Amino acid sequence: MMTNNDGAVVAPKKDKSELKLPSQVDPAIAEQLVDQARTDGVDLVGPEGLLGQLTKQVLEAGLEVEMDEHLGYEKHAHEGRNGENSRNGTRSKTVITEVGPVEIDTPRDRDGTFEPATVKKRQRRLNGVDSMVISLTAKGLTTGEVEAHLAEVYGTEISRETISKITDAVLEETAAWQNRPLDRVYPVVFIDAIVVKIRDGQVANRPVYAAIGVTVEGKRDILGLWIGTGGEGAKYS
């Protein structure tokens, strides 16, 4: 423990580099959770599923740790009664996760200065959900098919408009990347191709050619990507 400028005892903040996470969950604990879920008739995924409950607990635990660091003391500690900024209950909201919708209780502070990073204010989707939408779209699914897949498999309702906004954001980032300035000199340039599935009226295998330059500092930089019209070949221009 340590004291602040007023002499009050506060919990020291932990350096993120000092935090050590287990490489994997104890198999015995995982088996116990699954067995208990089966006994109680709880599904693994979907609304009220086991993974959803675990996700809720992990997210809320992360938010509580962030609040401890923000205030400088742990929950229920007597330092919170000194008249300064303190906890002010929680606010419930539903976030869309990779395992379905999860309702979490976000802690609040009296000054309203708490800015969590685990689940940000006004954030309604975890980043993994956006990655999932982009991945499904990249595999050739339409917005309607992505919407139906998420609803059927994860019990997650994301409108076609939201799906379009997610993919449009990627297009904006792609345009910014295409217009970025390049180095004047690349000592080494590699040219290669990879075959991927692309939807152009219908889904088909198309070669994507990549030019990769090596900078004078030895770092690799993708100079450009070009989609071919037929099979992969050395004569593509």
| 209 has pLDDT over 70 | yes
Better-scored residue on pLDDT, 144 or 230: 144
- Please, what's the b/e burial string for 38-56 (b: 16 or more CB within 10 A of its CB; e: otherwise)? eeeebeeebeebbbbeebb
pLDDT at 150: 81
pLDDT at 12: 47
Contact 208, 226 (CB under 8 A): yes
pTM for this prediction = 0.55
| 232 has pLDDT over 60 | no
Question: What distances in angstroms separate CA 13 from CA 17, 18, 206, 226, one per listed residue?
Answer: 12, 11, 52, 48
Residue with tokens 């994301």: 158
User: How many angstroms separate the first and last alpha carbons of the chain?
Assistant: 66
What are the domain boundaries of the chain?
24-124, 131-178, 188-227
The per-residue pLDDT for range 68-123, each reduced to its tens digit, is 999 888 887 776 666 678 888 999 998 888 777 888 999 999 899 999 888 888 88
The per-residue pLDDT for range 38-73, each reduced to its tens digit, is 787 777 766 677 777 888 888 898 899 999 999 888
pLDDT at 6: 45
| Mean per-residue pLDDT over the chain, rounded | 79
pLDDT at 105: 93
